[in-house]
Chains A and B, each alone.
Chain A
Amino acid sequence: EVQLVESGGGMVQPGRSLRLSCAASGFSFEDYAMHWVRQAPGKGLEWVSGINWNSGSIGYADSVTGRFTISRDNAKNSLFLQMNSLRIDDTALYYCVKDIHVEIRGDMGYYGMDVWGQGTTVTVFS
């Protein structure tokens, strides 16, 4: 069974850090790009960051650039998101997501997020 399981969420004060992890199973992890997508309470989806199959291509949303760092360990089938300088508006459910392509931009328009975890909740409060 293809599965993504996130962990590492919690409640923190503004300015602090958290590290999210995602354990992948049931597919060849190293063959796909991976993403973090978040959803604030009662709000829509926001792409946070993506990483290609070999960590050679990485992208971030403007809202997190300079504060968040995505990484992956293909040997351990794991995806990570280091979140520093957290702000109240970072409060959200964070999803780990698998792409159908090896690259975050896809190729010839072929891309899409086909497997989603259940999410881990990050709450930033003052």
Chain B
Amino acid sequence: QSVLTQPPSASGTPGQRVTISCSGSSSNIGSTTVNWYQQLPGTAPKLLIFSNLQRPSGVPDRFSGSKSGTSASLVISGLQPEDEADYYCAAWDDSLNGRVFGGGTKLTVL
């Protein structure tokens, strides 16, 4: 059971807008920022979003993040076939004194 809760799956057609949610608590998302990671099949994860909404260099602006209270969201606009991947949210947890991940959301591009 993951500390952060994500839907196990999501889907969309090319060009669509997809939102992936991440729910936590006051000891993690509620008290710090959220990261998002993309893991393409057979590869290592990649940092997609940090500090709730910042994109590292090279990440397309189709990817955006937001946070409200104890929940966060990743939005992918203009969905592309190459976006098919697993997406994970993550945060620091003050109660556990460590990083925690969501269970991951498998995004399928139909």
Seen from chain A, the residues whose Cβ lies within 8 Å of a Cβ on chain B are: 35, 37, 44-47, 50, 59-62, 95, 100, 104-106, 109-114, 116-119
Contact = CB atoms under 8 A, between A and B. Distances in A.
Interface string B47-66: 10011100010000000000
A111 B90 CA distance: 10
Interface of B: 2, 32-33, 35, 37, 39, 44-47, 50-52, 56, 86, 88, 90, 92, 96-104
Given A60-B98, A112-B50, A45 B92 contact: no
A116 B98 contact: no
Contacts, number: 71
B56 A45 contact: no
Contacts of A113: 35, 37, 45, 47, 90
B2 A44 contact: yes
Contacts of A37: 45
A47 B45 contact: no
B98 A46 contact: no
A35 B102 CA distance: 17
Contacts of B33: 106, 109-111
A118 B97 CA distance: 26
A106 B99 CA distance: 11
A47 B50 CA distance: 16
Contact of B98 (A45, A59, A112, A117): A59
Contacts of A117: 44
Contacts of B99: 35, 47, 50, 59, 104
A65 to B, nearest CB: 10
A44 B104 contact: yes
By Cβ-Cβ distance, the 5 closest A-B pairs, closest first, are A112-B50, A109-B33, A47-B99, A116-B44, A44-B104
